[in-house]
Structure 1
Amino acid sequence: MKSGISKWFNEIRNLRIKAKLFLLITISMAVSSCISLVGLQIAYSIYDQQIYEKSSQVLNLSSTLIENELNKVERLTFSIMSDEQIQQNLIVMNEDESDYNRIQSRAKLVDRLVQYINTETYIIAADITDVKGSSYSSGNLTTLSSERRDLIQTTADRGNGTLGWVNPDAEDYSLIAARQIRSFDKLELNKLGTLVLHVNLDKIVNQYAREAVTRDGELVIVSDRNLVYPRAASLKSLLNEGNPAESASKGFRIMEQDGEKYFVSHIHSDYLGWTYYNTLPFQTIFYHIILMKNWMIAAFLLSFFLLVGFGMTVARSVTRPIEGLITNMRGLQISDLEKSELPTIAPLSQQMDEVGLLQRTYRMMLVRIQELIKENYTKQLIIKETEFRSLQAQINPHFLYNTLESINWISKMNGQKQVSQMVESLGYLLRSSISLKQDIITVEDELQLVQHYITIQRVRFEERLDFRLDVPEPIRSNRIPKLTLQPLLENAIKYALEVMLEPCVIQIIGQEEGETILLIVEDNGPGIDEAYLEQILTGERKSRGTGIGLKNIDERIKLSFGDEFGVQVDNRAGGGARITVRIPITKRG
């Protein structure tokens, strides 16, 4: 798989520029088209979501208004059921054997029932049935089949005093609210009868929900695969859903029936177990969007082919001059550059773009190449001569080392131990100073240079030089630029020891501070003038010595380890100068 991908990349890399440009334009257009289409699809999805949210808000408002009215019906049934007159009259109807008393109670019961339903707009009729089966009704009561009457009675008995609802059917279009009437006297809760209210659901929906639903839409109420409202729905597939509550929780969807699509949003109510559907014909709300989408796809395809053709034209205008330039280069490759004259490259076009500048630069390059060939030949001769002289110059240091070695042996033979130590230290210093093999050495090697230098200076100053060395072993394996501490020690001798009559204490101290190492060279001399020191560090004034200055040491440390490291010079509180060298913690390798 990997070899196949690499082979494919190699084939693309070896294509001609014209093919690469064509491929680039094609891929760019394809990617931009895909991004645009995805963006459009996202925009349409957002639009669909907004439609759903609006439809959901409408359904929520409609269902809330409908159920508020049904809540009023429920409160009305409770008021009728708990009415003291109705309770007393029902007790008389159920227990009293006197026909006169029963007739009076019947009349009072019907009058009281009429008073309740006359004030209600959506109540078609009200009916109370006592335990003996006698019925007392008010309003436009329709004749019901025995099956529906049994369903109503079963619903009321199942509630045991709570309200039960019976949905409309093909025979009776009214919504039935049924509940048992139980005795409140002494909280015996004996059954006195059954209250049935016939509710005009069509009137409630038309009053509160019809105007809320869009003009072209349809409000459908379904309960347990049974159609509650309207009497006949255009989208009959809603009745075949297995679990209306579960399907309603999905939000919205697109459904199809008889070749026509519908945008359907749903809300499920737990109060009656109803599912409210708002169905909108898909073509009505999405016709213009689909038309615009098709137009945009056609515009993308047309612009794609136009840009591909334009890209091919641009690619040819770029590659033709380059191909001519390649032809001239191949002709020059065959000839001898040094002996041949410059080829005359006729301009292939009058344009002064990058390709024209490339041709002009090519001609200038040929001239420059010839000049560089001659210049390189001359430089090679000079380098050979310099190497020869360098070999001759190496004789002088070797002669000096041999001479010092001879003096050393003569001093040892004559018992001049001090002279022998000075000669050995001087030879070590000369070899280390002249050697160019290593620019960065260990602190241990640098301290050996310091020790040899102190050996020579002790012969000169004797007891006046009190040198102390306090560098722990772990620090000595770290790296430091060569000749860092020795020049600082030389400055301490020059500016402190030489101007003092009493003994001068010069010490080198090594410390670890986090991830850095501090190497401190300090003395008890007169210190350094601040103004003079500032001029030395900024380079305004050169040091009076002939060796390596403080600025040079600071720059070498910064070049080696970074700007956060270097040399810091200040005066001690008790007198004398202190020079602090800050380097990072490093190890060999």
Structure 2
Amino acid sequence: MGKRLRKRTRVWHSIANSSMKKKLIIVFVFLITLPLTLTSYISFQYYSKSLQSNAQAYVSRTASELMDKLENYISDVKRISALPLFMTDMQQKLAQPLSIEKMRSLEPVVLSLNNIKKDSTSVYIIDNYDELYYNLKTDGLRQDIRQKIPYWRSLAKEAEGLPVLLPVQAVEYSSGNKDYVFTVVREIRDAVSIVPIGMIVFDTSVSVIAKTVEEMDAITKGHSMIWDQQNQIVFDSERAFMMGRAEDLPYFSRIEGDQGSFPLELDNAEYICTYTTSAKTGWKMVALIPVKEVTAKATLTRNVTILVTLAISGFALAVSIVISHFLTGPLSKMSRLMKQVQGGNMDVRLKVKYADEVGLLGKHFNQMLERINELIGEVADSRLRKKEAEMRMLQSQINPHFIYNTLETIRMMAELNDDDRVSAMTYNLGQMLRYSLTKGVESGTVASELEHLEHYLYLQNMRFNDKFALTLKVPEPLLGRPMLKLVLQPVVENSIYHGLEKREGPGEITISAYDLGDDTYFILTDNGIGMSRETVERLNGHYETLVYDTNSRGGIGLQNVNERIKLHYGPAYGLQVESRLGQGTAVIMKLRNMVAE
């Protein structure tokens, strides 16, 4: 016993003290070749015996899963049909007689409902006046839509607010194309009075069923079909029994219960018939699996397993030698380079050829040497950078108070010389700078923001001979509220430069403000030259993002204002532009109600 232990110990020490190349070869032999050979042999033995029974169970389980997907899809459509029950604004519009405003209000609702499920075909909303509002993903409106409305309405009324799933039906569209669809109908009731005000109808093409059936056929290499509770065949992958009756199938009488399977012979070919039933819809999926396909896979798998096992076993032995050489070569070279670095040579580099772990180690080795050289350089010029920093500190000593005091001195000298215009301009400019250059203060009040705007407009009127008139319609309770600084003046500046300056005659700017729930709105309008529709759409598209406008005039453009508002209040806030050529421009500024802050 002792001799055996000592012998095993010597063998272990011999392996441990051998080169890495030998160790890798041993690892490849034992961890790849031997397990692969044993696994292939054992797997084939069990696979050849149980393939047919396992395939039958697998298909049955897969059919159940696919029916669950179909159930979930129909359930989703039913849940989507309940959304109008919670849209009080839409309900109010739906209860009203036909109008342009009603059509505009319901169009985005129908569009959004149709886009929730990508496989939906059409969504119709019908009010009590039999007016139709719809969104289509087909190439036309179904031709029988008007004839179906009374039938749908009676079904929705009988269901008393619950969704109704209709059987599959053939429809023809106005384009002449035909399709098969199944329909979900639901009554829309007023959320307060529970009085019916219309109904919603979803049409879904059987193409969504076709996807499910195709998934099944890809697995079984056979064909499948689905029929509904009335035994009407909803879909047949071979298109031979579409819209037919399941009772006409030769094996219909053998399908009993909700699920099961049985052997079947059709046209001198053997099949395994597997079926399952949806618990929610009552629809039944039937899959016919060719036995020949199952046994063919078993034969092919046996032959391929033997060939692959032999090939991999020989290949692994050969490749292990090559791989061990490639793995140990760079490590040996890196070891030599490390000795040179230890001797003080910092200019050596490892040539990295591959992106494996050894290559990553070499890359970090090179980065480490480069960083060491950078640190040496940083230490060498640290004194120069320190002197430059001290010089910049001296240059930054001029602070805003110096600017205020200088402007005040200029104003007093202008008053002594009876130059009231220069005095007033200097005073207004000083007030603007004092408001703008206050460090560390992001917010002011609505009153201070308007006062800053009046100083700015005074200076512009001095330049343009009182061309601009400002009208404020801001309620008294809003004046004392906190507000983000420097957001009104850039908007007015944009109105002057791009609208009023180019207009002949006097320019008018009106600022209105009002509360709406938790939000405060400022509307800045002018009677300038306006903008084209394309320009307005482009601006509003930019304002939905946080992209800084580096080309803004004066450095603080509308896009910068929009960015500051979104960063301060949230992405739901910001600017919106409305304008027409020759009719002026309105900028709507949405802020969070500052009382709630």
TM range (shorter): 0.3 to 0.5
Larger Rg: 1
TM-score of the superposed pair, with normalisation by structure 2 = 0.36
Q: Which structure carries more relative contact order (alpha carbon 8 Å, separation 6+)? A: 2
